[in-house]
Amino acid sequence: MPELSQLSQARIVAVADAKPHRAESMAKSLRVENWYADYSDLLKRDDVDAVVVATPHPTHAKIAVDAIEAGKHVIIQKPMTTNVADADRIVAAATRHADLKVMALPFVYFDTPAFDYAKELLSKGELGRICMARARVAHSGPEQYQQDVARMFGEEDSCWFFDPRRAQGGVLLDLGVYAVSQLVYLLGQVKEVSALTATLDKPAEVEDNAALILEMTSGVLAVVETSWTEIATLEGTSLYGTKGTLLLSSLDKPVMAYKQSSWIVPSLAKEKEPRHTHSHFVRCILEDSKPIGTVQEGKHVVEVLEAAYESSKTSRTLKLKSSL
């Protein structure tokens, strides 16, 4: 909401929240005239051209489909949905209304100078044949965020992320979606998935750690790691090729490349533009251009996540006998 309010090309017409006091409070804080407890009332407005769906994961599909059927452009927070069946519903609606821009996060987050550099190295073959890759996205958990939101609206703290009835999954849906999307963005689609999930520390009925092994359609073997139990932020995405290695990190030096027997740190711009996510969405509408992150791409990521959950439940694990 604060980011949208700063865009000169768009105006926030109305907000909706299932908790009316939240909708009213947010609308007043940003001087938005209209607020609703039922989003369908918002969709009836003729002066609403586009909708941002930023609700808990399992609710994305119905709201997005209703918005598309109401003739609105839509941007959907990550993960696009929690299952492939819901993703199919969004894809079908977007196909029926091909004149609308329907954008799935988080692909646009990777439209950065660092990922552009990675794409350039890959396209030029400077890393050789990519044989393995790794992506890790992790932090210490969603509790502080939930506490801040509850405090903002004067509510009792309740972490819906930990409740399978409200979230339908844990860290894999919340953070693993970024890691999977990064690998898909750089290396293409996934062919096979194997996964293990665990709840090791959080008072949750969903997983707080997950590890995946992916086989990409190109043959690349990739590892995905995600966690809600990491204190120090040491994460990133790595590509390992026959001619070089690329490290995309969240640290001060975001990119390191090993080529021709030496490490290099390229000089890259920090950011393409402020408020990039929503400005890109608005620009796609105004210029009738294709968004970064189509619903078809969003569906593929959901397919990977759903397969990972299924693998974690059904895959055969071999227990080793200790020789000590």
Segment 60-114, tens digit of pLDDT = 999 999 999 999 999 999 999 999 999 999 999 999 999 999 999 999 999 999 9
Taking the alpha carbons of 74, 191, 123, 273 in that order, is the dihedral positive or negative? Answer: positive
Q: What is the mean pLDDT of the chain?
A: 93
* pLDDT over 90 at 317, yes or no: no
Taking the alpha carbons of 227, 189, 86, 26 in that order, is the dihedral positive or negative? Answer: positive
Domain layout of the chain by residue ranges: 2-107, 112-271
Taking the alpha carbons of 75, 79, 85, 88 in that order, is the dihedral positive or negative? Answer: positive
Segment 3-35, tens digit of pLDDT = 899 999 999 999 999 999 999 999 999 999 999
* pLDDT over 80 at 156, yes or no: no
pLDDT given at position 111: 93
Supply the CATH classification number for the domain 112-271. 3.30.360.10
From first CA to last CA, the distance across the chain in angstroms is 58
| Antiparallel, parallel or unpaired: β 190-198 and 209-216 | antiparallel
Segment 291-306, tens digit of pLDDT = 999 999 999 999 999 9
* pLDDT over 90 at 153, yes or no: no
Q: Following DSSP, what letter does each residue of 203-217 receive, concatenated?
A: S-SS-SEEEEEEEET
Of the candidates 261, 236, 245, 267, the one whose C-alpha atom is nearest the C-alpha of residue 110 is: 236
Paired tokens of 281: 């969405």
CATH class as words, domain 2-107: alpha beta
Position 234 confidence tier, pLDDT thresholds 50, 70, 90: confident
What's the whole-number mean pLDDT along residues 215-241?
Answer: 93
**Distances, alpha carbon 116 to alpha carbons 109, 182, 292, in Å:** 12, 12, 13
pLDDT given at position 113: 92
Kindly state the percentage of the chain with pLDDT values over 70. 95
**Higher per-residue confidence, 275 vs 312:** 312
Angle between helices 295-314 and 177-187 (to 10 degrees): 120
pLDDT given at position 258: 85
Paired tokens of 235: 């994460």
pLDDT given at position 251: 63
Position 253 confidence tier, pLDDT thresholds 50, 70, 90: low
